[in-house]
Structure 1
Amino acid sequence: MQRQGKPTINDVARLAGVSKKTVSRVINRSPLLNADTRAKVEAVIADLGYVPNVQARALALRRNFLLGLIHDNPNAQMVMNVQAGILEAIRDTEFELIVRPVDRGSSTMLADVRNFLERQRLYGVLILPPVSENEMIAQLCQEVGCRYVRMGSTALDTPEHTVASNDCDVVVQAVNHLIALGHRRIGLIAGPHGFRSARERRKGFEQALAEAGIRLPRSLIADGNYTFESGLAAADRLLDLSPRPTAIFASNDEMAAATLHAARRRGMTVPDDLSIIGFDDTAIASHIWPPLTTVHWPIISMGRSAALKLLADFFGDGHAVEEPSLFHSTLIHRASVAAPRAE
C-alpha cells in the first residue's frame, strides 16, 4: 500500500521501534546513542526519505535552533576560540550560532541583552567574561526562560551554569618557575580593571611572590588592557626602571608579545636579558621568536563543554553531568625563559 503525504517523525519512530525522542537524538547527533540504535534509525530515515521540518520543531520547542554568544572582550582571538568550541559541539546538528557583542559600560546593556534573547528566541546562551561576572545577566536569563552558561576564571555559578578555569593556581605555578630559576625582580603586566581574569591572575602572581618571601614594589606592576598596544606601553614603563626586572609575567599573550617587541627595541635579548611568560597559548605565542613560554588556557574545550551543557535537555537527561565545570590550565615551556644573568 502506497503511503500518502510526507513521512513524519512518528512514522520513523514506529518503523524503527523507538521513541520520538530517540529519533530526535539521532537527527541531532546526540552522543548518548549506541551505534546499533543510530544505524537502525538512520536506515529507516533513508528508506522513508524523511526530512525534519526545522520550523515546525522550533514551534514545538517554543525556541529557535540557535545558541547565542554574548561578549564584550577586547581579545578577538579569545572570542574566536570560544566560537570554535561551540561550533565543534553543534556540528552535524540543526543548531546554529549567533554572536552578539555588547557594551558592558552602557546604561542600556541589560535592556539590549533582554531584547536580544527575546527577539531571537534562543535555545541557550553562553556569556563570556567580563559580562558573565555580572549577576544581573544570570537573573535576566532566568526571567526570560533562556538556558545560560557563564564562563569565568573562577566558578561563577552552579555547575550546570558554569565553565571555569584555575587562573590563580596556574599563575602561581608560572611565577614559581621563574623564582626557581633565580629571578627576584619580576614584573607584572596586569589585565584590565573590572575583569575577574585579571584579578585572579594578579592574585596568583602576588601569592607566589609572597610565599617565596619576595617583596613586590608597586613600580613592578603595570596596567594593560589585554591588547598589544597596552602591553607595549606597560612593558616600556617596566623596562625604563633602574634596576629593571629580569622577568615579566604578562596577563595574556598579546601583551607578552608586546613585551618581547619592547625588549628588542632596547637591544635586549630574550631570554638572556629578560624572561617573559604569557597567558592563553594563542597562535602568536608559538609563531614569534623566541616562542613564548605561556599558560595554555583550554578555551576551545571550555566553549565546547558550555555548548553541550546548553544542549543537555535537548540531547537527554544526564548529559550535563558528564560535562566538566572546571578546566585546568597548564604551563607550556618554550624558549622565552631562562635563568637571570649573573650580576
Structure 2
Amino acid sequence: MADDDKTPPRRGLGGEKKPTINDVARLAGVSKKTVSRVINQSPFVKEETRENINRIIAEIGFSPDPQARGLAFRRSFLIGLVYDNPNPQYVVNMQLGMLDAMRGSGYELVVHPCNRGNPTFLADFRRFIERQKLSGVVLTPSVSEDDRVKTILDEVGCAYIRIASVPVDEPQHIIVSNDRQGGRAAARHLAELGHTRIGFISGPPSFRSSHERHGGFVEELKDRGLKLDEDNIIQGAYTFETGLSCGAELLKRSPRPTAIFAANDEMAAGVLHAIRRAGLTCPNDVSVVGFDDFQIASSVWPPLTTVRTPTREIGRMAAEKLIGFSEADEDETPAREAAPATSPALVVRDSTGPAPR
C-alpha cells in the first residue's frame, strides 16, 4: 500500500472467502435489506448511507447475486397485478403505470387475470400469491372490492394496494379513484348543454364503480332540478357489444333521449355505432359522454367527450407505495409521502352539443 493511502484495510472477510451481502451489511453497520436497496438503486436511502455502502462494496469486491438476494429475504423481487376487468385498455394502462414506478428498482411485474365468478377464484388467488412469494400485489376493481381477498393477503403476510371507487381499507392500503365525482361532471356537462331527456348505460353491478358513476350522475341532475327516468337506465357490461345493444334500445324510446351517458368509453363507442345504424348523427341528434378517456375515446368518430381517470398514474402510485412498503425497515424512513388521491376530470370533444330543439 502506498504511504499516502490513508484508507485502512477492511478486516474480517477470512482469507480468500468470497464476500457476501452479510459482510457488506456488517461493515456498514446496516441491515441486509438496506444493502439490497442500495444495490437496486432505491430512492429510499439517505445519500450518506448510500455512499458508504457503495464504497464498502468496491473495497471488498462484493458482486451481488439477484437469485441469492431473493432467497435471503425469502421472497421474490416481484410485484403482482390482479384483475378481472373486462376492459383491456384499463389493464394495459395500469401495467404501464406500474412499470413506470418499477423501472430501475430491481422489481418485476407479474400479471394474474382472474374471474371472481369462478368457484376456484379464492383458492387460485391464494396459490398465485404463495407460489410467487410476491413482495406485494396491486388489486384492481372488482377484485379490490372483495374483502375475502384482503383476508387471504393478511393471512399470508403479503403487502397490497387496493384500487377502488371509494375507501374500502386503511389509507396506506388504498388508492381512491373518486368515480362519483366523475359521474357528477358528466351530468353537469349535459345539463349545461340543455339536455333533460338523458339515457344512462351502467356497468356490471358487481363493480362498485358502476354504482358510484350512476350515483354521482343522478345526484348532480337532482341538484339541477332534473331527474333520470328509470326507463332510460339500462345495464351494460363495460364492453363495446353491450354499448351497441343498450344504445340501440335507448334510441327506440319515445320520446328518444337527446343525450346518453355510458359508464365507460368502450360502451360509449358502441353507442356511437348504434346512432349511425339508426340513421342519426352525433351530436346533432344525440350527444354521447363516456368515462375513462382511454385511447378509443380519441380514435372514434366523432371524438368522444368523456371523463378522464388517470389510470396510468394510479398504477404508478400503487407500485410506488408497494415498493415503499417493501423497502422500509429499521435503518431508514421512506423519503416519500403517501401518494394523494386522484380526481377525474371532464374532457370535452365533439360527441356532445346543445340539446336539439
Q: Which runs of 5+ in 2 are unaligned?
A: 2-8, 10-14
Quick one: distance in 1 between partners of 2:96 and 2:20? 33
| SS of alignment partner, residue 248 of structure 2 | helix
Q: Which runs of 5+ in 1 are unaligned?
A: none
* 43 and 154 in structure 1: CA distance in 2 versus 1, 3 angstrom threshold: same
Asked whether 1:333 is paired with 2:352, we answer: no
Check whether the contact 1:309–1:320 (CA below 8 A) recurs between aligned residues: no
Check whether the contact 1:187–1:221 (CA below 8 A) recurs between aligned residues: yes
Check whether the contact 1:71–1:129 (CA below 8 A) recurs between aligned residues: yes
| SS of alignment partner, residue 306 of structure 2 | strand
Aligned to 2:101: 89
Out of 119, 126, 141, the position equivalent to 2:153 is 141
**1:141 to partner: Cα distance:** 0.5
**1:209 to partner: Cα distance:** 1.7
Which one-letter code corresponds to 1:178 in the other structure?
Answer: L
* 215 and 20 in structure 1: CA distance in 2 versus 1, 3 angstrom threshold: closer
Q: Deviations over 1:15-61 (max 9, x none)?
A: 88977554322222322346676567557656766432222222221
**1:165 to partner: Cα distance:** 0.8
Out of 224, 233, 247, the position equivalent to 2:259 is 247
Q: Deviations over 1:255-298 (max 9, x none)?
A: 11111111112222221211111111100111222211111111
Out of 68, 77, 83, the position equivalent to 1:56 is 68
Quick one: distance in 1 between partners of 2:335 and 2:52? 26
Check whether the contact 1:10–1:20 (CA below 8 A) recurs between aligned residues: yes
| SS of alignment partner, residue 326 of structure 1 | coil
**1:72 to partner: Cα distance:** 1.2
Quick one: distance in 1 between partners of 2:59 and 2:260? 64
Quick one: distance in 2 between partners of 1:36 and 1:292? 51
- Output the TM-score relative to the length of structure 2: 0.88
Which one-letter code corresponds to 1:25 in the other structure?
Answer: R
- Output the TM-score relative to the length of structure 1: 0.91
1:110-125 residue pairs with structure 2 within 5 A?
Answer: 110-125=122-137
Check whether the contact 1:160–1:320 (CA below 8 A) recurs between aligned residues: no
Out of 182, 197, 211, the position equivalent to 1:199 is 211
Check whether the contact 1:308–1:320 (CA below 8 A) recurs between aligned residues: no
Aligned to 2:293: 281
Quick one: distance in 2 between partners of 1:97 and 1:302? 15
Out of 70, 78, 95, the position equivalent to 1:66 is 78
Quick one: distance in 1 between partners of 2:43 and 2:257? 51
| SS of alignment partner, residue 226 of structure 1 | coil
Aligned to 1:295: 307
Which one-letter code corresponds to 1:328 in the other structure?
Answer: S
> Which of these two proteins has the greater Rg computed from alpha carbons?
2
Aligned to 2:326: 314
Check whether the contact 1:189–1:250 (CA below 8 A) recurs between aligned residues: yes
Check whether the contact 1:251–1:278 (CA below 8 A) recurs between aligned residues: yes
Check whether the contact 1:162–1:325 (CA below 8 A) recurs between aligned residues: no
Out of 210, 224, 234, the position equivalent to 2:236 is 224
Q: Deviations over 1:145-201 (max 9, x none)?
A: 111111111111111111111111221122111101111011101001211011111
Check whether the contact 1:63–1:123 (CA below 8 A) recurs between aligned residues: yes
